[in-house]
A = this chain, B = another copy of it.
């Protein structure tokens, strides 16, 4: 079933305690769509500048990602982010942000994308996320991500968005900020009261929590000793989750089918962090995810 992602496409520079990479392929829509592509061919909407290497688009095309919604802005420069991970590889500092063409990103969806059944509104201004949503005819499942910036400066717009989406994914620190509650179980339930049908709190190396009216549960991350670069973990998580859902297109979004989706998201993210940029994801297939799923199921069987 059709899956659309609208979000950033970026050139990232990443420093870790052990290595660094400059101007590598990144951005929320890129990580999301690549992660989803193991399950279903997604549609990508984003914007880049004239400096964008065509090889990056080819890499996405080769995975079946529909990049006809990737706009190249003449005379513009691509969004750039530079960050540095602390030794725990969970916390990071942003060293530089150049929004460039992403600053005035106000996407008009190609006509052929307006019937998308599954939609992910990657992290961005809630005003923009709302405008994207208005352009889509009757989607089956809309999920969104957000961040501390929007919780702080677009509180009302974010509240309006939360009433119009099915699922929200956000980090633990963002859930605490949004609800002013440091207990994550309560924070998740309070977020749920703001409108979405379900909420997923991402805890990085500690896994993810799920909240709906019927269920509360937590799944651990897949234990890996090879954490090379956590950039894009949250977006590849969401991509794996929604890619699985779009490919299954279940009659009903039961807590159990959403849990399986979250598990796939967890496993795609666990591969993604094993190398910089998309390097690890490029080297795997759906069968690798299914293999790790069997290990994960065995790990959690009691």
* Structural contact, B225 and A302, CB atoms closer than 8 A: no
In the complex, per-residue mask of A257-281: 1 if CB is within 8 Å of any chain B CB, else 0: 0011001000000000000000000
* Structural contact, A300 and B219, CB atoms closer than 8 A: yes
Chain B hits for A64, CB < 8 A? none
Least CB distance from A20 to B in Å reads 18
Chain B hits for A87, CB < 8 A? 182
Partner of A300, one of B89, B189, B223, B302: B302
- Who on chain B is nearest to A219 by CB? B220
Is A152 part of the contact surface with B, judged by Cβ < 8 Å?
Answer: no
* Structural contact, A259 and B302, CB atoms closer than 8 A: yes
Chain B hits for A182, CB < 8 A? 87-89
A206 to B202, CA, bound (A): 12
Among A184, A217, A293: residue with most chain B CB under 10 A: A217
A221 to B219, CA, bound (A): 9
A300 to B210, CA, bound (A): 12
A207 to B221, CA, bound (A): 11
Given contacts A205-B184, A207-B206, A302-B300, contact A221 B223 (CB under 8 A): no
A297 to B301, CA, bound (A): 7
* Structural contact, B299 and A185, CB atoms closer than 8 A: no
Is A94 part of the contact surface with B, judged by Cβ < 8 Å?
Answer: no
Quick one: which of A196-243 are within 8 Å of B by CB? 203, 205-207, 209, 216-221, 223-225, 227
* Structural contact, A189 and B302, CB atoms closer than 8 A: no
* Structural contact, A225 and B300, CB atoms closer than 8 A: no
Partner of A206, one of B185, B206, B297, B300: B206
Chain B hits for A299, CB < 8 A? 217-218
Chain B hits for A203, CB < 8 A? 206
Least CB distance from A181 to B in Å reads 9
* Structural contact, A183 and B225, CB atoms closer than 8 A: yes
A233 to B302, CA, bound (A): 21
Chain B hits for A301, CB < 8 A? 300-301
* Structural contact, A220 and B207, CB atoms closer than 8 A: yes
- Who on chain B is nearest to A203 by CB? B206
A302 to B257, CA, bound (A): 9
Partner of A218, one of B185, B186, B217, B220: B220
Quick one: which of A76-91 are within 8 Å of B by CB? 87-89
10 residue pairs bridging A and B, Cβ less than 8 Å apart: A89-B182, A89-B183, A185-B223, A189-B225, A206-B207, A207-B207, A217-B299, A218-B223, A297-B302, A300-B301
Q: Enumerate the 5 nearest inter-chain pairs by beta-carbon distance, A residue then B residue, closest first.
A: A206-B206, A185-B225, A300-B300, A217-B299, A218-B220
